[in-house]
Amino acid sequence: DKPFSGFKIIVDAGNGAGGFFADKVLKPLGADISGSQFLQPDGNFPNHIPNPENKEAMESICSAVIKNKADFGIIFDTDVDRAGAVDYDGKEINRNTLIALISAILLEEKSGAYIVTDSITSDGLADFIHSRGGIHYRYRRGYKNVINKAIELNKEGKYCPLAIETSGHAALKENYFLDDGAYLIVRLLIKMAELKKQGKKLNDLISDLKMPYEEAEIRLNFLCEDFKSYGQMIIEKLKEYAYINKDFIPAKDNHEGIRVSFAPGSGDGWFLLRLSLHDPILPINIESNVKGGTKIIAQKLYNFLKDFNYLYTNKLQEFIK
């Protein structure tokens, strides 16, 4: 009846709607929730933005875990459809690490499953999912996009238990593919309680997840009104360029924009260039496995983009410098 007895689990709701999770879920199940913060809803959000992707918000819950010597920390967004977590040592379980953790749990239950993610997940995550017997399906950004693709795969007879974005949006088949941050966290907590009986911790499940040495996101603005057509033209021309440039290795499984990998000695990483779903910008995500690799890759990309007159590339120049 008290599966979380002996655990200190703290919640940071960011003054959004998620404060209930501490008092109405964790406490009745035996958890010590002292140290939980910002549980009272307040639409002015006086402490920090309720967003697992926000740097200040994540620093807040990480600090709270360390200060209170907690076993686990939880952070929700405003309406609890997104979540992030913090391990006992104050390290984030967010983005690629969060996806790896829930994937490991689900793939233990059924190997060979498809895991659908958004487009900016790392190569290390793809290798991790494969090592656990899963199939990584890297799809477009937008939580509805990944959810709809997961539903589609299941209809095709390809078992897919999870659709998840690096933003923290996660939807499980067993929960009717609702994007539900609280349900995601419950799945992690159940596993944490099971592992304690074996003398193990949650982070043991992802100890072999390879993380990039460097990562960056650069957002380029357009200098024209018809930015969608102009941006799509840039992407198409970059695809043509990538296939004839010996340094560029275009991804075979790409479903959004263009993703290109680079071998060791040539950046040792990848970039993804795509059109934003909502804004007149061209986001670029870059990861590298070596120090200085992101700048090497950015320079290669800048050499191509600098001649497009209606694309403002100054941010890319600044990053390289």
* Tens-digit pLDDT profile for residues 264-285: 999 999 999 999 988 999 999 9
pLDDT per residue as tens digits for the range 144-202: 999 999 999 999 999 999 999 999 999 999 999 999 999 999 999 999 999 999 999 99
Mean pLDDT to the nearest integer, 83-110: 97
| Token pair belonging to 162 | 């999870």
Cβ burial, residue 36 (10 Å; 0-12/13-18/19+): buried
Please count the other Cβ atoms lying within 10 Å of the Cβ belonging to residue 13: 26
pLDDT score, position 192? 97
As a whole-number percent, the residues of the chain with pLDDT over 70 amount to 100
Reply yes or no on whether the pLDDT at 221 is more than 90: yes
DSSP H helices in the chain: 20, 55-68, 96-109, 123-131, 143-155, 181-197, 227-244, 293-305, 314-320
Amino acid sitting at position 101:
L
pLDDT score, position 114? 98
pLDDT score, position 1? 87
282, 233 Cβ separation under 8 angstroms: no
pLDDT score, position 277? 80
| CB contact set of 296 (below 8 Å; sequence gap of 6+) | 262, 266, 267, 288
Identify how many contiguous H helices and E strands the chain contains and give both numbers.
9, 14
Distance in angstroms (rounded) separating the CA atoms of residues 296 and 173: 41
Query: pLDDT category, 253, cuts 50, 70, 90?
Result: confident
Distance in angstroms (rounded) separating the CA atoms of residues 198 and 180: 28
pLDDT score, position 173? 98
Give the closest residue to 139 by CA, choosing from 164, 159, 157, 110. Answer: 164
CA-to-CA separations, 165 to 60, 107, 253, 275, in angstroms, rounded: 22, 18, 17, 17
pLDDT score, position 278? 82
Which single residue is written with the structure tokens 């399906």? 137
pLDDT score, position 305? 97
Residues in the chain: 321
pLDDT per residue as tens digits for the range 99-125: 999 999 999 999 999 999 999 999 999
- The helix/strand/coil state of 259 is strand
Largest CA distance in the chain: 65
> Mean pLDDT across the chain, nearest whole number?
97
| Token pair belonging to 67 | 């200060």
pLDDT score, position 152? 98
